[in-house]
Amino acid sequence: MSRRRTVGRGATAAAAAVALLLGACGGSGSSGPAGGTDDGGSGAAVADPRTAATDLGPQGRVPQFVVECGFSHAAPDDPIVHPDHPGRAHLHTFFGNTVVDASTTAADLASGTTTCDQPLDRASYWAPALLDRGRPVEPTRAVAYYRPGVGVDPTTVEPYPFGLAMLGGDQTADEPQPLDVVAWTCGTSPAREAVPPDCPDGRPLRLLVSFPDCWDGEHLDSGDHTSHVARSAGGVCPASHPVPVPQLLLAIEYPPVGPARGLSLASGSLLTGHADFLNGWDEDKLATEVASCLHRRVTCGVVGNGDRRA
């Protein structure tokens, strides 16, 4: 079995969209769409090849933009669920913005630096630490896929408001969560499991967490941290949450771990997979990504060798 490393520190503006178009898609080195089709904004219906938010989705068939973020740090903090209470949360691994602790606000994110390959993505992403017989496993990276919800018309998707907080998955789950919300997989395999599978030698383990894709249009957070957002059904947002926003699929990758026995999550059993997101994107850049990639129904920032495919 491969040795595992332990954790250490380590409203869309059209003018902005036009001005930033050439730098719109994916990471900092991306210059435009990487495959896919552009219907010229006709609004014609396009069949969605996915059946679930964690589905692979054929390359070029799912409108999206992609950001890859390195591991930033680990800490028992959660500025959404336990704000201003350092050490109260279970151990989390953080990606993206590097200034995050228990007291971090969206305003703090705006002035922070990031581990992401898109420097204007100053959002923070975090998840419970994966443990191997009680010892934290250092993740390799996290890849954030921003897509329309399954079946949602991409041209209707609006950028997140700055400071939006969201949770994906359920940290209190005591039975398998829906695979379109939380799933485990080996590398880029299309197979999805409720708990980590035994991956073949050399294949990394990945945790996939999808987030809600509908917003109530008013609140950046809520008392239970979930009521202000919801999930679409049949490609439609509920009347209570009428604003379609990108559906974030966060894929957290770990080094090859071999057999899964002995693994757990800092939040409890392997059934408690979840992740958190605090939006710190540059507002003009995020609006441009949505307009240039999702509204045009193209894939942005997806490399040809499949390394960044979900």
Query: What is the pLDDT at residue 13?
Result: 38
Q: CA-to-CA distance for 159 and 144, rounded, in angstroms?
A: 15
Query: What is the pLDDT at residue 58?
Result: 61
- Please answer whether residues 308 and 142 qualify as being in contact, where contact means their C-beta atoms are separated by less than 8 angstroms: no
Express each pLDDT in 86-134 by its tens digit.
999 999 999 999 999 999 999 999 999 999 999 999 999 999 999 998 9
Query: What is the pLDDT at residue 46?
Result: 52
Residue 29 has pLDDT above 70, yes or no: no
More reliable by pLDDT, 304 or 191: 191
User: What percent of the chain shows pLDDT beyond 90?
Assistant: 70
Chain position carrying tokens 């997979």: 273
Residue 26 has pLDDT above 70, yes or no: no
Residue of 270, 271, 276, 277 whose CA lies nearest to 130: 270
The pTM of the whole model exceeds 0.75: yes
Query: What is the pLDDT at residue 307?
Result: 43
Q: CA-to-CA distance for 142 and 26, rounded, in angstroms?
A: 14
Express each pLDDT in 151-178 by its tens digit.
999 999 999 999 999 999 999 999 999 9
Q: Range with the lowest mean pLDDT among 38-47, 50-59, 82-91, 149-158? A: 38-47
Query: What is the pLDDT at residue 171?
Result: 93
Residue of 117, 143, 107, 145 whose CA lies nearest to 280: 107
Q: What integer is the mean pLDDT of 212-234?
A: 97
More reliable by pLDDT, 285 or 32: 285
Q: 209 has which bridge partners?
A: 182, 250
Residue of 119, 50, 124, 57 whose CA lies nearest to 93: 124
| DSSP three-state, residue 192 | coil
Residue of 139, 138, 106, 140 whose CA lies nearest to 123: 106
- Cα–Cα distances in Å, from 165 out to 49, 128, 256, 305? 28, 17, 31, 33
